[in-house]
């Protein structure tokens, strides 16, 4: 999921060939942060087993990771405003690289707290990347094809989330398929490989000649009356982003432990980790299906339908066993696909000059990925893993309301 950025324009064109190469380089960034974000779903059961953690303690991984979106987004925007988008990309890659490197001492010392700090540093770098990279994609070519370029980069982001489980399952769980207290060091190699890849990208973007981008938003907002908060559909949209990201991340975080349960599928951790690819791969496929469907069906209705299907699939999964339970919960990913961009666009309708502020509010709501998994972890510890899935069901329930009615603009014009 990529956050939006303020409008920007190219002030120095380097030609179509440069644009093409720059777009390829930028696409690699979308792939990388999708890959790294999804790798958390493998890291959670790995560290849970290595440190004998409760579900709540294990969900601190997502808490530390997604809290960076909330804490770092605004400072990152100010930083990028001062040093420029290209240097911002280099800084973001460097910070993310540092976060990956910190996994080595965390594993060597076998201290869970250092892992959590490393994840926060890593996510801070990714946040800076998102603030920096999105404007480039929109301006690397004609304005009329900007949406097409963003769709392409988002597809590669989803591709990264789809293949990450195979990478993580092989390098972290290995042939045995299980993770024990004695092999916490298994996370060293994958994150050192990621650190090397991020370092190479940082060097490339440090020397790459990209078009110079200048903001078109303007810094003087003194004449803008009112606030984006006056629009009810924007506030409800922010709540939806919070709940959607929280539900999507929570389900992905529990998949390995859920499928490993004897009454569900009894998979070893390595096998279960590979199945996560279907969850995120479904989101990739569904994105293209949803884009086609929404040319003929209102976006709000598609959003409500998808949320209803997500609820139905969760109900089927937690009330069944075997592969039916497995495929039902994995199928939620297919219906997650269009939710983030659809909620985002519906929430910004009719905001006019408050659009930029509204976009910032929606991006901060991504912190749901930190809070909801932690809450589900508490429910899993207190009751059971199956019962804990009531929480994402409730999250999707509000999204159903938003799709049918809550997205309709009723706020006064500023």
Is 81:189 a contact under the CB 8 Å cutoff? Answer: no
Q: How far apart are CA 388 and CA 390, in angstroms?
A: 5
- Pair of tokens at residue 157: 């982001």
Q: How far apart are CA 139 and CA 284, in angstroms?
A: 24
Nearest to 20 by CA among 210, 213, 214: 210
**Domain coordinates in residue numbering, the chain:** 1-217, 226-407
Is 265:272 a contact under the CB 8 Å cutoff? Answer: yes
- Pair of tokens at residue 81: 């405003």
Q: Can you state the percent helix, strand and coil of the chain, rounding each to 5?
A: 80, 0, 20
pLDDT for 386? 93
- Mind listing the pLDDT tens digit for each residue in 215-250? 444 444 445 567 888 999 999 999 999 999 999 999
Nearest to 157 by CA among 133, 139, 179: 133
Q: Which CATH architecture has domain 1-217?
A: Up-down Bundle (1.20)
pLDDT for 156? 84
Mean pLDDT split into 10-residue runs, the chain, 414 residues: 46 53 82 92 91 94 94 87 87 96 93 96 92 71 60 79 88 62 74 94 87 50 68 93 96 95 91 92 87 86 96 96 96 92 86 80 91 97 95 98 90 41
pLDDT for 122? 97
Selected from 3.40.1170.60, 1.20.1250.20, 3.40.1280.10, 3.40.1780.10, the CATH number assigned to the domain covering 226-407 reads 1.20.1250.20
């Amino acid at each position: 999921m990529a956050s939006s950025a303020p409008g920007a324009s190219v002030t120095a064109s380097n030609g179509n060939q440069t644009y093409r190469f720059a777009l390829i380089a930028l696409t690699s960034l979308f792939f990388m942060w999708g890959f790294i974000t999804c790798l958390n779903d493998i890291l959670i059961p790995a560290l849970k087993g290595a440190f004998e953690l409760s579900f709540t303690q294990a969900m601190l991984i997502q808490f530390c990771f997604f809290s960076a979106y909330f804490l770092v987004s605004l400072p990152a925007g100010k930083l990028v405003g001062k040093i420029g988008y290209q240097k911002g990309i280099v800084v973001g890659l460097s910070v993310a690289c540092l976060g990956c490197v910190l996994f080595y001492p965390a594993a060597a010392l076998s201290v869970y707290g250092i892992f959590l700090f490393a994840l926060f540093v890593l996510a801070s770098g990714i946040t800076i990347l998102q603030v920096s990279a999105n404007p480039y994609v929109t301006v690397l070519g004609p304005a009329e094809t900007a949406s097409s370029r963003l769709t392409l980069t988002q597809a590669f982001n989803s591709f990264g989330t789809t293949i990450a489980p195979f990478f993580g399952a092989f390098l972290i769980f290995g042939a045995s398929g299980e993770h024990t207290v004695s092999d916490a060091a298994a996370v060293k190699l994958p994150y050192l490989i990621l650190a090397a890849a991020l370092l190479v990208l940082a060097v490339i973007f440090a020397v790459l000649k990209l078009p110079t981008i200048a903001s078109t938003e303007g810094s003087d907002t003194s004449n803008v009356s009112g606030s984006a908060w006056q629009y009810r559909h924007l506030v409800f949209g922010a709540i939806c982003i919070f709940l959607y990201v929280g539900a999507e991340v929570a389900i992905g975080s529990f998949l390995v432990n859920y499928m490993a349960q004897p009454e569900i599928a009894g998979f070893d951790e390595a096998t279960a980790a590979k199945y996560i690819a279907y969850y995120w791969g479904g989101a990739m496929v569904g994105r293209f299906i949803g884009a086609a469907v929404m040319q003929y069906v209102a976006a709000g209705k598609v959003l409500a339908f998808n949320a209803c299907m997500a609820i139905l699939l969760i109900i089927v999964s937690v009330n069944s066993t075997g592969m039916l339970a497995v495929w039902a919960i994995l199928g939620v990913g297919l219906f997650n696909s269009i939710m983030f961009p659809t909620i985002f666009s519906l929430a910004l309708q009719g905001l006019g000059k408050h659009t930029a502020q509204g976009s910032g509010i929606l991006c901060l709501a991504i912190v749901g990925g930190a809070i909801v998994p932690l809450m589900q972890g508490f429910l899993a510890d207190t009751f059971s893993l199956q019962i804990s899935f009531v929480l994402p069901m409730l999250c999707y329930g509000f999204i159903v309301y938003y799709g049918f009615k809550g997205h309709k603009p009723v706020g006064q014009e500023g």
